[in-house]
């Protein structure tokens, strides 16, 4: 497809998110491209109970912006439970 924006690979986005601090799991990962200049991302990150959600959120947002140039990032941080919440 000529002229189409490069597809955002959700697998690599997920890997980046998991590399942030105490992230344990990523789900509802939903990247998409509006056009060449605008890509959006929505995701949930599950973190360790002793992790600081604001710090994780800040790091994840900064990382994704610099690596993937998302123009809008919506991340929900939730605490990881072994019974895997959704």
Tokens 């994780």 belong to which residue?
Answer: 56
For residue 9, the Cα-to-chain-centroid distance in whole angstroms is 11
Closest residue to Zn ion: CB criterion: 44
Question: Which of these ranges, 9-17, 41-49, 55-63, 66-74, lies near Zn ion under the rule CB under 5 A?
Answer: 41-49
Residue 42: which of 13, 19, 63 has the closest Cα?
Answer: 13
Question: Does 14 contact Zn ion by CB under 5 A?
Answer: no
**44 in contact with Zn ion (CB under 5 A):** yes
Min. distance of Cβ 14 from Zn ion in angstroms?
Answer: 14
Residue 5 or 21 having the CB closest to Zn ion: 21
CB of 84 to Zn ion, least distance (A): 10
Spatial distance between the Cα atoms of 40 and 61, rounded to a whole number of angstroms: 12
- Within 10 angstroms of residue 41's Cβ, the number of other Cβ atoms is 23
Tell me which residues touch Zn ion (CB under 5 A). 44
């Amino acid at each position: 497809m000529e002229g189409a924006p490069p597809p955002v690979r959700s697998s690599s986005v997920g890997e980046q998110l998991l590399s942030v601090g105490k992230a344990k799991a990523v789900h509802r990962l939903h990247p998409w491209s509006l056009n060449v200049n605008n890509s959006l991302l929505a995701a949930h990150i599950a973190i360790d109970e002793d992790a600081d959600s604001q710090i994780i959120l800040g790091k994840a947002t900064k990382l994704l912006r610099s690596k993937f140039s998302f123009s809008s990032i919506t991340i929900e941080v939730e605490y990881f439970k072994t019974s895997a919440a959704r």
